[in-house]
A and B are shown apart, each in its own frame.
Chain A
Amino acid sequence: MPLFRWFILRRLRQEPVRTTLTVAGIALGVAVGLAIRLANASATAGFAASLDAVAGRTSLEIVGPGVGVSEARLASLGWLREWGEVSPVIEGDAVAEVGGGRGELLRVLGADILRDQSLREYRLLDLGGGGDAEPDATSFLRLLVDRDAIVIAERFAGRHRLGIGDTLVLRIGDARLPFTVRGILRHDGPARAADGSFALMDIAAAQLAFGRLGWVDRIDIRLDDPGRLEEAETAIAARLPGGLAVQRPERRGRQVETMLAAFQFNLAALSWIALLVGLFLVYNTVSTSVIARRAEVGMLRALGTSRRRVLGLFLGEATALAIAGSAIGIPLGRLFAETATALTSATVTTLYVARAAATPSLHGVDVVIGFAVGVPLSLLAAAAPAIEASRVAPLDALRPPQGGGAEPRSRRAAWCGIALLALAAGASRLGPVNGLPIFGFGAALLVLLGLSLLVPAALAGLTARLPPVTVEARLARAAIAAAVPRLSISVAALAVSLAMMVAIAVLVGSFRETVIYWTHQTLRADLFVSAGRRSSLDGSQGGISPELETTIRLDPDVAAVDPFRALSVTFRDRLVVLGSGDFDVLLEHGALVFKAPADATARMRRARGRDAVVVSEAFARRFALGPGDHVDLPTPEGERRFEIAAVYYDYSTDRGVAVMDRGTFARHFGELRPASLAIYLREGADPEAVRERLLSGLGGRHRVFLRTNAALRAEVLRIFDATFAITYALELVAIVVAMLGVTATLVTLMLERRRELAVLRLVGTDLRQLRRMVLVEAAVLGGSGALAGLAGGLALSLILVYVINVQSFGWTIQFHVPAAFLAQALLIVFAATLVAGLYPARVAAGFMPAREVAVE
């Protein structure tokens, strides 16, 4: 141990710059990986925790397909009471008009309080000071007896200074509804859901507010004997009429997890790239230290230090760096997680499921993961140089270091690299595992490794071709040529991070172009109306009221209206969107772009009035279905068989969408409020004028989003860009880490060449020439890193676009290289490497020539 302290730790202290840069690299890598982990966990955990809080003592629930359970059927379900307490509920999201214009999402539970108290624990805050307790049923009932009565959670009330008797306006669907606060729930039971963004109403009031007269969302059951859960589930399932299903409440949480899995998996995979780049730094640092201290190691061996001890010393160096890096990275990750959550929660809410953005918290397990990822991987990165150190013979203390062997080695590495690329090509042809593109990411990793192995040959080739136009270029070229194996590590790290950036830029650019094309093809209507939330796919959460739809249809300038209804239903254990549109209007305006079959339009026309659907590309891919296949979709009457008439391109959600004609939909699901309306105007009508007129006709009772075609397209792109903001943030960190690597390498190189630099100074190199020489070196490193990154990135982008994207999300994306953006980004990186060269240049200029040369 004292040997470790003297030989390793002291050295790390003596070279603070290199040590700091390496530790910073690991810290950033660990931090980013952890931040995404926390953000992902908070996305699902927030949902699961709320689900749990609201579920209370519920052990089973009866659900209908998307639309819930018709009240007409409740009477025939009386036998459910044989198993325990039963409570039908309405549960939905409303936007509370609080805190300025933004509003806050509120989870609203509508229940028959007399029955519900045995399933959930409500404790009312007694403002009279008599101590709070579970209120007796009748007094509770009295609180909720009015149609506008609402009971809110303590936290929510506190946040917005609401007291009993205050008015709270909720936006549900397109309606603005005023409620009066009648009671405040203690932070306990369901009131803990979504950090207190919870409200309770009487079930009748909730049905009215959510436009669900005659329906309940589900029936919650508390078993008298919770030990008989399995038995109860089987027995109830057997006795339920068609169209109803029994499930455990956790299932909804699991379905949300499945829905988010691909999105989160991709994010997680991306997030560890920064750590991968950080590991190059560890390898670099340890191998530098092995090379620089070869003679010292030889001496240690001569003095009787065993090979294993030497190996341990250098692995210990990696461990020390990794422990320091992880220790800093973990709290840093917590900090980054706030940003990551802010960036991802918008996406999750917009595209998948509504939830309150909870601040992620750091648990013991995250700390363990931080170390468990950082330390072993650093050891792995340090293994090769450490083993090399352990092979140093005692005599090496006396011999000068051997310079040769670089060329055959770089050639061998290049062949290995080519082999890995071939392997990557093979892996990219394999299918997904559990819906996750495991082999796709494997192929991406192989491309990155193959790229790294090709870097030495590329660097040597590029350096040899550098014209020695100035003396600085000549000196820089010679210095790089002599240190190719060492420099390759940093160049490879830079190339890897840039390759990721290029690939992601190509993916996002291609995707964006595709979406722009798609919106031009499909968003044909002049005006779009949606209710409440920004772009909800769930019509069951309110929707557009019939009177508003009528007002719009009656407007003289409106030619046609296509109402879109949508339900979340479970198909093959996944949540998909079941939608209804007006096929006539869709066909007339050509608002769908078909993927298959060739005669899709004719097939869709024939599908009207029949049990047939058109499905999105993601739906077709996910379930491996095509035109002519049949699907059994859940309806209130039980499963019904639908034919797939056509497959259309859709980039609005990767959940999978099946759309039926409005007539067919109404026949199976009844009349449901539409989630959105597409409005086609008469020739010559001014969309802006119609929009103004319709909005002014709404009055204060309704609130909808009424967008013109141009505004909606802009909104689509805005959501798109917000979705990918996080990927750019992740990339940026990886590039910063790579820059740290370039700086660290150049500094090391200067320290090792201090004698040479001194000679240069003595024979008359002035400081400007010296600085220029170091900058040329930095430029060659940055330039070759950028070129290799570009080449590797383009290869990688093929995997991202054609393998990973298709397997994760099921989208067809037109390949498009955002050339201007890439040129700009690579130039910036190149300039940044020059800046990264400034510090080593200063180090080089700081040597005292006389002392360096005199001392041997």
Chain B
Amino acid sequence: MPLLSVEQVSKSYGAGDSAVEALRGVTLALARGEFVAVVGPSGCGKSTLLHLCGAMDRPTAGRVVFGGERIDALGDDALTKFRRERLGFVFQFFNLLPTLTLRENIALPLLLAGEPASRALARAGEWAARVGVAHRLEHRPPQLSGGEMQRGAIARALVHEPWLVIADEPTGNLDSENGARVLELLVRLNRDEGITLLLATHAPDVAAAAGRIVRMRDGRIEGIEHRTREGSARAAL
């Protein structure tokens, strides 16, 4: 059974003549431990697909099944709980809260789930070490570099051990060196820790690191390219 399956999903925004069809009958399945990259030009529906997979939004038609459970019709509370427990997010613009320290930012999903602060903050420290920002734990995001912020964001996405990490252009706002290091980190986590990764990107080298590349255009899947694990690892390095 796939971890996540999207079946004949459509999504349109607005109504009547001004309605925009962002997704038109997309079907896609993700297995546990897989690394899937979604590529395509701006406006092709990448982000919308990620939002639906990430329980941030509901489809206009079709089904989204996650771990055997349909999530396309859940209410807001259930979706929130679902995101909190099963999903991790990494964004292009990092989206760390500027008012919290990096440690607090990383610990946030655990704190929100009601974990005691001491445990949550300690776990945040461990994860910071794993992504290489342990020396920056007590700093606030504006004091960090872009690469450090994104690695912190990855730690936040993983601290609660989600089933799936969704990354929307995670290297889009970084220079090439930092972009490469972040990509390397993601690949390592996928390979060594078996974390399932769904990633949207414009960059061919980032997509090349994935086990499977989904090409989209005009709200439809244009093609799917399977790659070997070895190949993906090599491409990343």
A→B interface (CB under 8 Å): 403, 468, 471, 474-475, 478-479, 481-482, 755-756, 759-767, 769, 849-850, 853-854, 856
Contacts and interface: CB of A to CB of B under 8 A. Distances in A.
Interface in B125-149: 142
A759 B141 CA distance: 14
B80 interface: yes
Contacts of B93: 856
A261 B81 CA distance: 66
Given A468-B117, A764-B112, A769-B112, A474 B104 contact: yes
Interface string B84-99: 1100010111011111
B113 interface: yes
Contact of A478 (B84, B95, B99): B99
Given A471-B112, A850-B51, A850-B56, A764 B80 contact: yes
9 contacts: A471-B111, A471-B112, A471-B117, A474-B100, A482-B98, A755-B95, A763-B84, A763-B108, A764-B109
Given A478-B99, A854-B47, 12 more contacts: A403-B142, A474-B111, A475-B100, A482-B98, A756-B98, A762-B83, A763-B84, A764-B85, A764-B112, A850-B56, A854-B51, A856-B93
Interface residues of B, number: 32
Contacts of B108: 471, 760, 763
B175 interface: no
Given A474-B104, A474-B111, A766 B80 contact: yes
A134 B111 CA distance: 92
Residue picked from B98, B111, B113, B142, most chain A C-beta under 10 Å:
B111
A849 B56 contact: yes
Contacts of A761: 80
Interface in B61-102: 76-77, 80-81, 83-85, 89, 91-93, 95-100
Interface in B145-198: 156, 168
B79 to A, nearest CB: 9
B95 A853 contact: yes
B55 to A, nearest CB: 9
Nearest to A480: B99
B218 interface: no
A-B pairs, 5 with minimum CB distance? A764-B84, A478-B99, A471-B111, A850-B56, A482-B99
A346 B123 CA distance: 70
Contacts of A853: 91, 95
A351 B237 CA distance: 93
B57 interface: yes
Contact of B104 (A478, A756, A759, A762): A478
B77 A767 contact: yes
A459 B173 CA distance: 36
Nearest to A759: B95
A763 B104 contact: no
A762 B112 contact: no
Contact of B97 (A403, A759, A766): A759
A765 B97 contact: no
Contacts of B109: 763-764
Interface in B108-125: 108-109, 111-113, 117
Contacts of B156: 763
Given A403-B142, A481-B99, A849-B56, A762 B47 contact: no
A150 to B, nearest CB: 79
A638 to B, nearest CB: 81
B133 to A, nearest CB: 18
B157 to A, nearest CB: 8
A762 B117 contact: no
A763 B99 contact: no
B231 to A, nearest CB: 31
A763 B100 contact: no
Contact of A765 (B80, B85, B92): B80
Contacts of A764: 80-81, 83-85, 109, 112-113
B45 to A, nearest CB: 12
A227 B156 CA distance: 94
Nearest to B89: A762
B99 A767 contact: no
Most buried by B among A479, A482, A759, A763: A763
- Of residues B54, B76, B108, which shows the largest number of chain A Cβ atoms within 10 Å of its Cβ? B108
Nearest to A758: B95
A767 B76 contact: yes
Residue among A471, A760, A765 with max Cβ neighbours from chain B (10 Å): A471
Contacts of A475: 97, 99-100
B77 to A, nearest CB: 6
Contacts of B83: 762-764
Nearest to A755: B95
Interface centre among A481, A482, A759, A767 (most CB of B within 10 A): A759
Nearest to A764: B84
Contacts of B104: 474, 478
A748 to B, nearest CB: 16
Nearest to A469: B117
Nearest to B51: A850
Contacts of A755: 95
A764 B110 CA distance: 10
Contacts of A474: 100, 104, 111, 117
B112 A767 contact: no
